[in-house]
Amino acid sequence: MKARKIVEEMDSYVPGKSQDEIASDFNLNKEDIIKLGSNENPWGPSPKAMKAIQDEIKSINRYPESQLQDLVKRIAEYSGVDTSQVIVGGDGADEIIDVLAKTFIDEGDEFIVPLPSYMYYEYLLKQYGAKPVYAKWDLDKNELDVKSIFDSVTDKTKMIFLCSPNNPTGTLIDKEVLVDIASKNPDVLIVIDEAYFEYAEVTNKDLINEFDNIFIIRTMSKVLGLAGMRIGYGLACDTIIEYMHRIKPVFSLTRLSFVAACNTFDDKEYIAQSIEKGIESRQYLYDEISKIDGLNVFPSKSNYMLIDIRETGFTAAELALELMKKGIIVRDCTSFKGLDEYWIRISICTLKEDEKFINILKEVLN
Ligand SMILES: Cc1ncc(COP(=O)(O)O)c(C=O)c1O
């Protein structure tokens, strides 16, 4: 039995490794493993969310809500937009990207993604018969090569993915650049991925009132501490949101995710602290890594940072393996298109874990 031609030709997506996988592969204690591979919130979820999940468990024999009004209201408030400008996804921001593709992509359409960037856009859009066209991030200047975006546009371009802060470089895209791209390409959907916007304290969400071709992606997996509950959302003009609601899986958000999400948005103190501690950890890691010979670390506006390790003599796969043996998970970026085999990405941890990581990193490099 053959699958669809597109599926036959596809490779699986390679996510960061989990603590369970590393613990069993290297015979380590799960609790001792420090995870700097997947850009999560290391301080745990909001206590209010945990309590709400416990209280909700007795109701999981019932289907979840489909309209999610209480959550949509909270997201609209948190984001400063109207409820009609919000859509929620139950497999995180990844579901939002999937619904975007199902809503807007016809076979043969092109989408532009500057490399390196989040690889899941390509993985999902290809499933609908769309073709990637690669623009680029200028790694020497550590900024988006804006000309490469304009040069990549053809009459088949349907979407341009612009991640800000960009994963994995940690860099922001200037609002004027986004406005320029959106206004010169009115028939192309400009998808601005703000999965990490809280760490940059910068958003472009106001552009959805000016442009009917701008879509903002957000997630609860990062600052908001709910990666395991899989909740994402999108912000755009009413027309886009209405189209997407025709396609979106009706019950994709579980009851437990729903109550966890609502209660996290109500926990303002948790959110403020997650941002503050995240920025503190980022600064600590950046300062310490900058002092290590042979490592070239990019300044970051997010909760991770990209490190060029070529001067150490290790490839990313070798260094990641040596660290893994000592219970440290980092992201070997070899699978990111646009990067060679000498880049790793690390994410923030608690300061205690950060210190332990820095010591082990020095030990391995020496
Ligand atoms: C830039 C970017 N967008 C979207 C996502 C997907 O997030 P979620 O966990 O909500 O699916 C990620 C996850 O790492 C990401 O880095």
Mark which of 266, 288, 323 sits at the end of a domain: 266
Please say if the pLDDT value at position 31 is more than 90: no
Please say if the pLDDT value at position 272 is more than 90: yes
Q: Domain limits at 355? A: 5-44+269-365
Higher pLDDT, 199 or 6: 199
Q: What is the mean pLDDT of residues 98-116?
A: 97
Q: What is the mean pLDDT of residues 105-115?
A: 97
Question: What stretch of H or E contains 287?
Answer: helix 268-290
Please say if the pLDDT value at position 14 is more than 80: no
Mark which of 209, 242, 266 sits at the end of a domain: 266
CATH number at residue 356: 3.90.1150.10
Q: What is the mean pLDDT of residues 180-196?
A: 98
Distance 347 CA to ligand 1 centre (A): 13
Question: Ligand 1 site: residues with CB under 6 angstroms?
Answer: 39, 92-94, 118, 163, 167, 193, 195, 219, 221, 227, 232
Measured CA to CA, the distance from residue 334 to residue 23 in angstroms comes to 22
- Total number of domains in the chain: 2
Kind of pairing, strands 157-163 and 110-115?
A: parallel
Q: What is the pLDDT of residues 318-339, one digit of tens each?
A: 999 999 999 999 999 999 999 9
Please tell me whether residues 347 and 234 are part of one structural domain.
Answer: no
Measured CA to CA, the distance from residue 220 to residue 74 in angstroms comes to 13
Please tell me whether residues 237 and 315 are part of one structural domain.
Answer: no
Please tell me whether residues 64 and 120 are part of one structural domain.
Answer: yes
Distance 144 CA to ligand 1 centre (A): 19
Please say if the pLDDT value at position 26 is more than 90: no
Measured CA to CA, the distance from residue 228 to residue 38 in angstroms comes to 12
User: Given this model, what pLDDT does residue 20 score?
Assistant: 85
Residue nearest to atom 5 of ligand 1 (CA): 93
- Split at pLDDT 50, 70, 90, the class of 191 is very high
CATH number at residue 91: 3.40.640.10
Nearest 5°: phi and psi at 344? Answer: -125, 160
Q: What is the pLDDT of residues 139-152, one digit of tens each?
A: 999 999 999 999 99
Higher pLDDT, 287 or 22: 287
Mark which of 266, 283, 308 sits at the end of a domain: 266
Please tell me whether residues 314 and 245 are part of one structural domain.
Answer: no
Distance 232 CA to ligand 1 centre (A): 8
Please tell me whether residues 126 and 194 are part of one structural domain.
Answer: yes
Please tell me whether residues 89 and 164 are part of one structural domain.
Answer: yes
Please tell me whether residues 36 and 139 are part of one structural domain.
Answer: no
User: Given this model, what pLDDT does residue 66 score?
Assistant: 87
Please say if the pLDDT value at position 16 is more than 90: no
In terms of C-beta distances under 8 Å and separation of at least 24 residues, what long-range contacts does 19-24 make, across chains too? 19/329, 22/324, 22/327, 22/329
Please say if the pLDDT value at position 11 is more than 90: no
Q: Specify the pTM.
A: 0.96
Q: What is the pLDDT of residues 244-269, one digit of tens each?
A: 999 999 999 999 999 999 999 999 99
Question: How many percent of the chain have pLDDT more than 90?
Answer: 91
Please say if the pLDDT value at position 237 is more than 90: yes
- Split at pLDDT 50, 70, 90, the class of 304 is very high
User: Given this model, what pLDDT does residue 156 score?
Assistant: 98
Distance 281 CA to ligand 1 centre (A): 20
Kind of pairing, strands 296-297 and 304-308?
A: antiparallel
